[in-house]
Structure 1
Amino acid sequence: MARGNTRQRIQDVALELFAEQGYEKTSLREIAERLDVTKAALYYHFKTKEDILIGLFEDLTRPMDELIAWAQEQPRTLETRQEVLRRYQVALVHAAPLYRFMQENQATVRELSVGLTFKERMLTLTELIQEPDFALKDKVRCISAMFTMHAGMFFLQNVEGDPEEKHEAVLEVALDLLAQAHGA
């Protein structure tokens, strides 16, 4: 198996175990057992649980960094802001298991530097979908659009319905908030 695939499998299984029994209660030995590899094989890729978690966060933040870089190069228009939300939703859906982990293990996330860098990225994205001269209500609408995206990830898990329809509904509400902030 290619190294990248093994690394990804380790991260996926670790995240499953972290979700099932908590980060603190999960050992590298248990991760290795679930993968049916030796602890040495696991150790080749990751020395500690924290290393696995940092790798997961890097995988999550890479699309965010790419989105921020793209948005910073675009004209500051409503269309660009709408596209930021669309692309951000794709990243959120892809990273849903990690977001659930973050929600359920906030203390652990806070202890690691990754939590801080994630927060900084969120603030940057929020700034990219608004203008400094927006009225306070419009700034709140833009910030609410971002929070709608996040709330949709967490709270709609418990709502009956097709996942695709739920994602579309969340995006539509977020885009409506953005359009209102622009007086559209």
Structure 2
Amino acid sequence: MDGTKQRRRGDTRQRIQDVALELFAEQGYEKTSLREIAERLDVTKAALYYHFKTKEEIIVSLFEDLTKPIEDLIEWGREQPHTLETKQEIVRRYSAALDEAAPLFRFMQENQATVRDLSIGEMFKQRMMGMREIVIDPEAEMVDQVRCISALFTMHAGMFVLREVEGDPEDKRAAVLEVAIDLITQAHGGARKTQEP
């Protein structure tokens, strides 16, 4: 019984998150009310309150759920050696995590001013600092550090800019990943040269 009840509760929570994100994307975060979310779900406002008291609680829960793979990746990356293979794997995993969380990141991109004022703005900044930490060698020359950061932002930009470009989504994602891995590989080559006698 407990498992079934918990699963149903989880399904309702996810439905609320999905509908809220849809409405935030359609109307903007500020213009969407909890009442509209409840109406779209065809539930009472009290039923919605059972799961979430505010819109920010909804968006924070979405952020935590959808960026958990990124958090896990950062933890994994901290335990790995700073090898080229590790960094390439980090970039591949980051690409997959971004793909899974694309609706959330689109919301964040389109609502930047709002996101800055919400707690997810700081949470996102912390995730990005963690990603920076696992892809950059602190001893690397500045140009190679910039290449590593550029690899991450290439994937972010690709997610938004390439939406408007015709073509198969998987081909576009693969192209963005290839460019990001090229940047990481170039940075690693530069770091090796500076360490050689």
- Is the structural similarity TM-score above 0.5? yes
User: What corresponds to 1:153 in structure 2?
Assistant: 159
Give me the whole-angstrom Cα distance separating, in 2, the residues matched to 1:57 and 1:112: 11
Structure 2 counterparts to residues 33-48 of structure 1, below 5 A: 33-48=39-54
User: What corresponds to 2:12 in structure 1?
Assistant: 6
Structure 2 counterparts to residues 4-153 of structure 1, below 5 A: 4-153=10-159
Aligned residue for 1:76, secondary structure, equals: coil
Give me the whole-angstrom Cα distance separating, in 1, the residues matched to 2:124 and 2:70: 9
Aligned residue for 2:180, secondary structure, equals: helix
The structure number with the bigger radius of gyration is 2
Paired residues, number: 184
Normalization by structure 1: what TM-score? 0.96
**Structure 2 runs not aligned, ≥5 long:** 1-6, 191-197
The answer to which of 144-153 and 54-63 deviates more is 54-63
Give me the whole-angstrom Cα distance separating, in 1, the residues matched to 2:187 and 2:56: 40
State the Cα distance separating 1:61 from its structure 2 match.
2.8
Normalization by structure 2: what TM-score? 0.90
Give me the whole-angstrom Cα distance separating, in 2, the residues matched to 1:127 and 1:43: 38
State the Cα distance separating 1:166 from its structure 2 match.
0.5
Give me the whole-angstrom Cα distance separating, in 1, the residues matched to 2:181 and 2:154: 10
The one of 166, 185, 189 aligned to 1:183: 189
**Structure 1 runs not aligned, ≥5 long:** none
Aligned-pair RMSD on alpha carbons? 1.2
Task: Tell me if the contact between 2:67 and 2:101 (Cα under 8 Å) persists in the aligned partners.
Answer: no
